[in-house]
């Protein structure tokens, strides 16, 4: 006699109360991902439970439908930006080699840095050392009718100077990379807090059903490639449907997006129909919103089988467009390819797009490594803004370019250390004034000036949400008894001086 009970198929298990109980317990005690992988089916199977009885081809043809709404059904303010593209320069690009020209610092190069500025201040690796002024390594030039002043390492950005708002008075609270990224993304260094992309998706919902509403891509430079943790695009305590989804920069943008050989739609439908029934049973008994999230993602997964390959196929892009972005080979993992894909994602209705370029952690060899990093991003960043503008998308797309903090005006050998008292970034589109520079730092660029034009990270978040029609004080989520916001509990303001 067989000592082990026969393992029932899902459809058999559902035929009896005992079988349903046994199978439900099995699923409950087994990771969902492991269960599905063990069944040997691709990610497309996850969609078919909610699509039973519907024609597969018609679903692919109607994939881009109405999207879904967030918790804010009526905007608090006029909506200027429907989507955000964050060009995140991971590692902290130096403001002295980008957008904050300091001739006095140039004149003091190699001399002792004034102790009056640094005494009692928080430094990173330079704490307790003799501090020497480190002048700008590149010349600055004026660009556009507005005369925007920026480093000559960015000739292509110079061509969009009249669309850019350069903010020189940014400051942050965290002096090391990972917590500084967390603060820039989530407004807090506490783990488990939602990122700004997740907050935006939670508030506004998505304009597309065939792609995630929040997409992340990462490219790596030749030097200064500071690591990035996936918690930077986490949904935190929000339901996981608001999680950022990382697209791969090389190969298939989404792993397992294609069905395995030999798997047909009928088999997928039969399996996932039963899984969905189990999910429904669990959802009824447990009331867990994550179960509803999984069910909704089944359909998303199916639609991505059709939408992602088309999205990442650059064959319909003219060579002139590839050249404008500087794309050597489509899908080569470069920042240029990711920028072009970001425009395509924006066209498809993706709400928040984040491109990390890991190339800016220049503690040494700053001049040489900065030249490499700027070469990798200058052309593509400018091309993205021009492309969006040409297609009429820049008006309602907010582009943000910058890092998690700045760099010291003091030298660290041949480089610069981390710095939180001042750094620069720029914005374009989405109702932001173009052709202007906002904010000031002292003569040596050590600190922002408290003159009413200083901008904190929370101020930046409040301004971005405002342009999306959201009052930052009214977008919150109850967590551990508190109404938690992206902008925290300290006062944050909308920087109205930079709004068009």
- What CATH number is attached to the domain comprising 376? 3.40.720
**According to the model, what pLDDT value does residue 277 have?**
73
Whole-angstrom distance, CA of residue 272 vs CA of residue 357: 38
Q: Which comes out higher in pLDDT, residue 144 or 255?
A: 144
Let me know if residue 235 belongs to a domain. Answer: yes
pLDDT greater than 90 at residue 317:
yes
- In this structure, is residue 270 part of a structural domain? yes
Residues 265 and 370 in one domain: no
pLDDT value at position 128?
A: 85
3-class state of residue 155 by DSSP: helix
231 part of a folded domain: yes
Are residue 90 and residue 215 in the same domain, yes or no? yes
- Classify 449 as helix, strand or coil: coil
Q: Give 191 or 380, the one with higher predicted confidence.
A: 380
User: What digits encode the pLDDT tens for the residues 42-61?
Assistant: 333 333 333 333 333 333 33
Give the tens place of pLDDT for each residue, 384-427. Answer: 999 999 999 999 999 999 999 999 999 999 999 999 999 999 99
Residue 177 within any structural domain of the chain: yes
Q: Are residues 271 and 141 in the same domain?
A: no
Average confidence score pLDDT of the chain: 85
CB 456 within 8 A of CB 492: yes
- For residue 401, which phi and psi values (nearest 5 degrees)? -125, 120
pLDDT confidence of residue 292: 65
pLDDT of residue 200: 97
428 φ, ψ (degrees, to nearest 5): -150, 150
Looking at residue 439, what is its pLDDT?
Answer: 98
C-alpha torsion 277→278→281→285, nearest 10: -160
CA separation for the pair 360, 337 (Å, rounded): 19
Please tell me whether residues 78 and 16 are part of one structural domain. Answer: no
Sorting pLDDT into bands at 50, 70 and 90, what band is 354? very high
Nearest CA-CA partner of 341 in 154, 161, 85: 85
Domain identity same for 280 and 352: no
More confident residue, 2 or 120: 120
Vertex 415: Cα angle to 411 and 418 (nearest 5): 80
Last residue of a domain, one of 243, 271, 302: 302
| Assigned domain for 406 exists | yes
Q: What angle do CA 154, 457, 142 make, to 5 degrees?
A: 25
Pairing of strands 415-419, 140-143: unpaired
Instruction: Kindly give the pairing relationship between strand 406-412 and strand 140-143.
Output: unpaired
Q: Is the pTM of this model over 0.75?
A: yes
Residues 493 and 381 in one domain: yes
Helix (H, G, I), strand (E, B) or coil at 424: strand
Residue 10, pLDDT > 50, answer: no
Instruction: Look at the chain and report how many structural domains it folds into.
Output: 2
What pLDDT, on a 0 to 100 scale, did the predictor assign at position 38?
40
**Separation between Cα atoms, residue 2 and residue 417, nearest integer Å:** 69
> In this structure, are 135 and 29 located in the same domain?
no
Mean pLDDT in residue range 115-123: 89
Tell me: do 222 and 280 sit in the same domain.
Answer: no
User: Are residues 79 and 60 part of one domain?
Assistant: no
Question: How far is residue 405's CA from residue 181's CA, in Å, rounded to a whole number?
Answer: 9
Does residue 468 lie within any of the structural domains?
yes
Domain with 491 in it: 70-253+312-498
Residues 328 and 462 in one domain: yes
Name residue, tokens 């590839």.
322
pLDDT digits (tens, 9 = 90+) for 75-105: 999 999 999 999 999 999 999 999 999 999 9
Task: Over range 285-307, report the average pLDDT.
Answer: 65
| Within-domain flag for 307 | no
Q: How far apart are CA 267 and CA 261, in angstroms?
A: 12
Q: Give the separation between CA 477 and CA 483, rounded to whole angstroms.
A: 5
**DSSP assigned state of 132:** B
Nearest to 178 by CA among 230, 222, 245: 230
Q: What percent of the chain has pLDDT over 90?
A: 68
Reference 475, options 207, 289, 200, 214; nearest CA is 200
Q: What is the mean pLDDT of residues 171-199?
A: 96
Say whether both 52 and 161 belong to one domain.
no
Sign of CA pseudo-dihedral 409, 411, 415, 421: negative
Which range has the worst mean pLDDT, 269-283, 367-381, 383-397, 409-423?
269-283
Cα first-last separation, the chain: 81
Domain identity same for 149 and 189: yes
Residue 280: pLDDT above 50?
Answer: yes
Query: Would 5 be classed as within a structural domain?
Result: no
C-alpha neighbours within 13 Å on the C-beta side of residue 113: 22
Q: Per-residue pLDDT for 31 more than 50?
A: no
């Amino acid at each position: 006699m067989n000592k082990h009970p026969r393992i029932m198929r899902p459809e058999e298990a559902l035929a009896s109360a005992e079988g349903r109980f046994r199978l439900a317990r099995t699923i409950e005690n087994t990771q969902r991902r492991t269960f599905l992988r063990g069944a040997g089916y691709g990610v497309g199977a996850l969609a078919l439970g909610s699509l039973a009885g519907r024609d597969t081809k018609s679903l692919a043809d109607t994939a881009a439908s109405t999207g879904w709404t967030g918790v804010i059904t009526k905007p608090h303010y006029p909506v200027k930006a429907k989507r955000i593209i964050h060009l995140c320069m991971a590692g902290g690009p130096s403001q002295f080699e980008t957008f904050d020209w300091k001739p006095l610092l140039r004149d003091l190069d190699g001399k002792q840095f004034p102790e009056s500025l640094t005494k009692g201040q928080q430094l990173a690796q330079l704490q307790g050392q003799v501090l020497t002024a480190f002048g700008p390594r590149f010349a600055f030039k004026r660009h556009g009718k507005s005369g925007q002043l920026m480093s000559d390492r960015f000739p292509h950005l110079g061509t969009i100077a009249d669309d850019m708002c350069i903010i020189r008075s940014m400051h942050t609270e965290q002096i090391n990379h990972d917590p500084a990224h967390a603060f820039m993304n989530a407004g807090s260094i506490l783990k488990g807090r939602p990122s700004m992309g997740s907050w935006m998706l939670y508030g506004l919902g998505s304009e597309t059903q065939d792609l995630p509403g929040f997409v992340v891509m990462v490219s790596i430079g030749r030097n200064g490639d500071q690591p990035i943790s996936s918690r930077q695009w986490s949904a935190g305590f929000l339901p996981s449907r608001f999680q950022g989804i990382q697209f791969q920069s090389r190969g298939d943008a989404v792993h397992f997006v294609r069905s395995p050989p030999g798997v047909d739609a009928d088999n997928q439908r039969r399996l996932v129909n039963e899984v969905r029934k189990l999910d429904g049973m669990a959802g009824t008994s447990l009331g867990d919103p994550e179960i509803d999230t999984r069910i909704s993602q089944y359909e998303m997964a199916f639609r991505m089988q059709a939408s992602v390959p088309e999205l990442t196929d650059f064959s319909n892009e003219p060579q002139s467009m590839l050249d404008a972005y500087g794309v050597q080979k489509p899908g080569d993992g470069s920042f240029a390819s990711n920028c072009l894909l970001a425009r395509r994602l924006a066209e498809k209705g993706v709400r928040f797009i984040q491109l990390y370029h890991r190339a800016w952690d220049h503690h040494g060899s700053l001049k040489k490594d900065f030249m490499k990093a700027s070469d990798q991003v200058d052309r593509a960043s400018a091309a993205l803004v021009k492309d969006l503008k040409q297609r009429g998308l820049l008006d309602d797309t907010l582009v943000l370019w910058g890092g998690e903090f700045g760099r010291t005006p003091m030298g660290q050998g041949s480089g610069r250390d981390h710095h939180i008292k001042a750094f620069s970034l720029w914005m374009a589109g989405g109702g932001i004034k173009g052709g202007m520079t906002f904010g000031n730092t002292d003569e040596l660029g050590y600190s922002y000036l408290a003159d009413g034009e200083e901008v904190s990270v929370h101020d930046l978040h409040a301004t971005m949400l405002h342009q999306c029609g959201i009052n930052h004080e009214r977008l919150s989520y109850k967590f551990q008894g508190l109404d938690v916001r992206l902008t925290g509990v300290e006062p944050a303001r909308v920087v109205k001086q930079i709004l068009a």
